[in-house]
Structure 1
Amino acid sequence: MPLHHTDLIFPSQSVPIHQSVSSLSRSRFSITNHLHSIDRDSRFVCRVADVLDLPLIANERCGSWYVPTQRKKGSVYFKSTDGHWGQWKFSLRRLNLGILDIVGEADGMFFPEDHKSHQLRTPSQVISRSEHSQIEAKIRQFVSSFIELNVDLHAVRSKISKPLLPVWITQDDKSLSTLQRDSQYHTVVLCTSSCSVIGGEDTDQGYIQGAGDDSENWAHSLTPALLWEHKDVLLSASEDDLPSIIAKLTSQDQHSASDRQMRPVAPTSQIFISEIASTSKPLLQGNTQAIITCGPSPQDDLEERLKSRYLHIKCGLGKQGSRDLRSELSKVRDFLPQIAAENVHDLIVCCETGKDFAAGVALAVLCLCAHDDGRVDFKDLGTQVNKTVVRQRLSWIVISYPDINPPRATVQAVKAFLMNGKYESS
C-alpha cells in the first residue's frame, strides 16, 4: 500500500508539520555540514592543482573558503552572475589584470601574434554554438572599451609569454588523472569546486553544494583564514560547541588587520588607499601627508595630529553610505586646494575596509586633480570630467589594488557628484 501524509509520525502531535520541516532543514544546513562540505570540496581543488602543478587563485568573495591559506597565490573578482545567459558584459571595474603576474611568472617578455589564439573558447558541454556566437560578436567592442582606458599595453603584454588556454574542470569529470598542460599556452584551469547535487544538498551525507556561499548566514563571523588556521579544531567540534569556539577564535583574530602594502595608485606617486586601522601605523612624515577618513565618526587622534591636513567624510553603512558620500564629496573638492597651500605631497584616503568609500573618494580625487600621465596637482582641479575619465581613473585603482572592487552604488555616487547628476548608469 502507498504511504500517505497521515502515516507520518511526528515527535508530538502538537508540532505543526512546517515546524518539523524547518527543523530538518536547519539540521541539514548546520555549521558542521558547511565546514565538512567545504573541506571535501577543497581536497578536490587541491588535487587538481597538484595534478597540473598550478598555483591556486581564489574567485572571491567565497572562493577563499576552498583554498588553504598557505596555498593561495592570489584572488580574482567575478560576479556570481557573470557568464549566465545574456550576462556577457565586459566589466571595466573588474579587470583582474593581477592574475597575469601569477600566470606568466618567470616566462620572459615575448607575446606571439598567433591568430589562432584569438579564437573564443567556451565549454561546449554547457555553452551552445548559438550562445558562443553571440558572445564572440561582442569581443571587438570589449577590446575597444579596454583600449579606451589607456592601460599600459606594453606592461600588460610583458607579463605573459604565451596565449592563455582556458580549461574547465568539475568534480563530475572522470579524466583528471589524464590532464596535461599544453606547452604552447599558459593553461588557466577554471575549476568548479562543488559537486552538482539536485536541490543543492545530499541529505544522506550532509553534503551542501556551494557550502562557502552566503557565509553571513551560517559562519558566525568565521573567516576563511581562521578556518584554515584552526581547521582540525573546527572539523572535530560538535555542532553545539561550534558557535562558542568560533566566537573565541574571532575575538582573538589577528587577521583582521590589513597587511596590504601601502603603495600609490599608479601611475600617480601621491594618492594612497588604506584601512582606517592602518593609520595607527607610522605613516605620517613631517607635514607632507594628509588623510581623509570615511565613516560614521571622525578619528579624534588624526584630527588632533593633523589639524587642517585631516578631513572626515561622514558616511553611514551600505547603500545609505553611498548616498551620504554624494553630498559629502564637495568637502573633498574644497579640501584639495587647502592641502596644496600647505605643500602636502601625499594624500591617504581611508575607510573601515579600505575597499568601499575610500576607493570612491580616491576616485573623485583622481578625477579632479590627476593628469593622464599620473601627475597630481591638488590646486588645479579639473572641470571637464566625463564617463571616460571616470573609467580610466577607476582602472588605475583596480590595477594598483586588485583586492579593491568598490560597490556599484559608491561609483555611481562619485559619477553623480562629478557630473552634476548627468551620467548614464554603466
Structure 2
Amino acid sequence: MDPELKRDLEELKKSLHSSNLSTRNRVLSIVKDSDYVNKVKEKYYPEIPVIPNDRCGRWYVDPKYYEHDLLPSYFKSTDGHTNNWSFSTRRLNLHLLSQIRERKGIIIVDSTRRGKKIPDSFSKTVPIWIAIINKFLIPDASFDDLFFTPEETVSEYEHSRILRLLPDFYQNVVKFEDLIKDKILANVEKSEKRKILKPFWIYPGCRRYPIFAESEEYLPIILLSASEQSQDGENKMFGYTYVQGAGDDHELWSRGLSPEIFWSKYEEITDFINITDHQADEIIDEIVTNAKQKESVSANGNASKFWRSEDIVKVTEILHFGKIDKNLSFKETEIDDAFDFDKVIVLDSSFNHQVEHEKEQRVFAFDLDSGSKKSSKRLRSVLSDIMELLTGGSDLRKTLIVCNSGEDLSVAVAICCLNHINGMDKRTITKETIRRDLIRLMGLRKVNPQRATLNAVNAFLMS
C-alpha cells in the first residue's frame, strides 16, 4: 500500500475512534449499563445492599439503591493483572467486613474496558483478598478451599499460579496482625463453624443469577460487572456508539461531570439520544458550571464552621485529620471558642483564606489537591515547611490536618506527625513502620493515599 495512503487511513481511523469515544457516547453507555445494574438489583437481590468499587463503579450505582452509610470498596485491577498478582496492604478494605456481616452479603459494582467480560479487579484482585481474609477466619483451612476464581475468565493454570503465591501474601499481612486481626474477626459468629466469604460473578449475558439462603455456610460477595463485552471496546447501538467501561478515567473525557452530578441530571442526560455530540457537550458544560456555582455559594454560607465533626477523626489527643469541603472561604477573624485547634493545615487549592495579621495565625493553606498526581509530587517539596509550621522545633500542639478527600494528602501529613509524636529517628524509620502508621489510620476512617503521596512521605521521613 502507498505509504501516504496508509498514513491517511490511520489518521481517519484515529479520528473515527475519537468520535466514538465522545462524552455523549460515554454517558449514554453509562445510562445503558446502570439500567442493567438496576434490573439485576431489583429482580434478583432486592435485600442485598449495593456499593460501587471506587472510582469507576460510582458511575453505575443509582443513588436510590446506594445506602450512603455504606462505604465503597477500592480494589484495583492492577493488583490482579497477570504476573502482577498481589494483596495490597495499602488497600485493605477492612471496612467492608462489618457491612457484609451485618447485611449477610453485599453487591459490588465495577466495569471494565476493551473486550473483557469481568475486570481483573473482580476476577483476581477480590478473590485474592477474600482468600487472605478467609485464612484469618479459618487458619487451619487450606487455601484450596478458600480461593475462588471465575472459570470463564481465569484459566486453571493462572488459578494454580496465584494459589501458590497465597501463603506468601498471607505472611506479608500477618506482619500487621496486631493492627488488623481484631477488625477482621469483629462480629464474627462465636460458633465453631465460621462463615467464609465467597465471590460470585455477574455480568451482561451471564447464564445464571445465584440465589442465596441464610443457611449457606458462606457470606456472598456478588461482583457485578456493569458493562457489556465488546470485542474492541466499542459497539454501534441505535443512535449512538456504545463504549464498554465508559466511566473509566473520567477526568480525560467528562468535561467536569462527576458521578454525583450525572445522577442528579440523569433524566436530562437520557435525552442525549436525540441530540448531537456538540449539543451534548454544551449542555454538560452548563450543568457543570451551575453545579460549581451552587457548591461555592453553599460553602461560603458556612465559612465559620469549615469542617463537620463526622468528617474528622482523632488519632491522638493532639492529632486529628479528615476532610474539608471544596470552595470554602474562611477568615481568621471568625475564629471563636468552638475552634478547638491550635493549628490547622488545609491542603486544598479551592480554599479561600483571609489572614488576620494582628493575631497569631492558626490556619495555614497549601495549594494542593488530593487525587492529583501533580500535587502528590509537589508534596515532597512542602512537607518540611508543613512540619516546621506544626512543630517549630518543639512539641506538636493540638492539630487538625484536612484535605478535600480526607483520604490522600491529609493522611500523608498525619503519618509524618505520628512519627514526630512518637519520637521516631530517621535511622529506625522504614517502609514497614510507615505502612504500620498507614494501617493504623485505615482503622479510623477510609483512606486511600496515592502511591506518589506515600513516596513523598517515604522520601521525607527516610532521607
TM range (shorter): 0.7 to 0.9
Show CA shifts across 1:292-325 (max 9, x none): 1336699642675973544455659944533432
Match of 1:97 among 94, 98, 123: 94
CA contact (8 A) 1:274 1:351 kept: yes
Q: Determine if the alignment matches structure 1 residue 47 to structure 2 residue 39.
A: yes
Cα shift at 1:159: 4.1
Between the aligned partners of 1:410 and 1:151, the Cα distance in structure 2 is 22
Between the aligned partners of 2:51 and 2:437, the Cα distance in structure 1 is 26
Change (3 A) 1:417 1:306: farther
- Corresponding residue number in structure 2 for 1:410: 453
Change (3 A) 1:229 1:279: closer
Q: Secondary structure at the match of 1:102?
A: helix
CA contact (8 A) 2:329 2:351 kept: no
CA contact (8 A) 1:287 1:344 kept: no
- Corresponding residue number in structure 1 for 2:185: 157
Change (3 A) 1:299 1:311: same
Match of 2:234 among 177, 201, 204: 201
CA contact (8 A) 1:169 1:191 kept: yes
CA contact (8 A) 2:52 2:73 kept: yes
Between the aligned partners of 1:211 and 1:158, the Cα distance in structure 2 is 37
- Corresponding residue number in structure 1 for 2:122: none
Residues 127-142 of structure 1 correspond to what in structure 2 (within 5 A)? 127-142=154-169
Residues 18-97 of structure 1 correspond to what in structure 2 (within 5 A)? 21-50=13-42, 51-52=44-45, 53-73=47-67, 74-97=71-94
Give the total of aligned pairs. Answer: 391
One-letter amino acid of the counterpart of residue 324, structure 2: E
One-letter amino acid of the counterpart of residue 62, structure 1: C
Between the aligned partners of 2:36 and 2:171, the Cα distance in structure 1 is 38
CA contact (8 A) 1:314 1:324 kept: no
Between the aligned partners of 2:28 and 2:365, the Cα distance in structure 1 is 44
Q: Secondary structure at the match of 2:388?
A: helix
Between the aligned partners of 1:164 and 1:297, the Cα distance in structure 2 is 42
- Corresponding residue number in structure 1 for 2:408: 356
CA contact (8 A) 1:77 1:94 kept: yes
Q: Secondary structure at the match of 1:126?
A: coil
- For structure 2, the 5+ residue unaligned runs are 3-7, 105-135, 190-194, 300-306
Between the aligned partners of 1:189 and 1:22, the Cα distance in structure 2 is 37
Between the aligned partners of 2:182 and 2:202, the Cα distance in structure 1 is 32
CA contact (8 A) 1:276 1:354 kept: no
- Corresponding residue number in structure 1 for 2:312: 263
Change (3 A) 1:255 1:164: farther
Match of 1:366 among 406, 418, 427: 418
Cα shift at 1:409: 1.2
Please provide the CA RMSD for this pair.
Answer: 3.5
One-letter amino acid of the counterpart of residue 379, structure 2: L
Show CA shifts across 1:155-198 (max 9, x none): 3312454211111122121223x543562211001121111111
Identity fraction in percent: 28
CA contact (8 A) 2:369 2:403 kept: no
One-letter amino acid of the counterpart of residue 184, structure 2: V
CA contact (8 A) 2:329 2:353 kept: no
- For structure 1, the 5+ residue unaligned runs are 6-15, 371-379, 421-426
Between the aligned partners of 1:132 and 1:203, the Cα distance in structure 2 is 35
One-letter amino acid of the counterpart of residue 421, structure 2: C
One-letter amino acid of the counterpart of residue 81, structure 2: H
- Corresponding residue number in structure 2 for 1:424: none
CA contact (8 A) 1:276 1:350 kept: no
Q: State the TM-score, normalizing by the size of structure 2.
A: 0.73
Between the aligned partners of 1:252 and 1:398, the Cα distance in structure 2 is 35
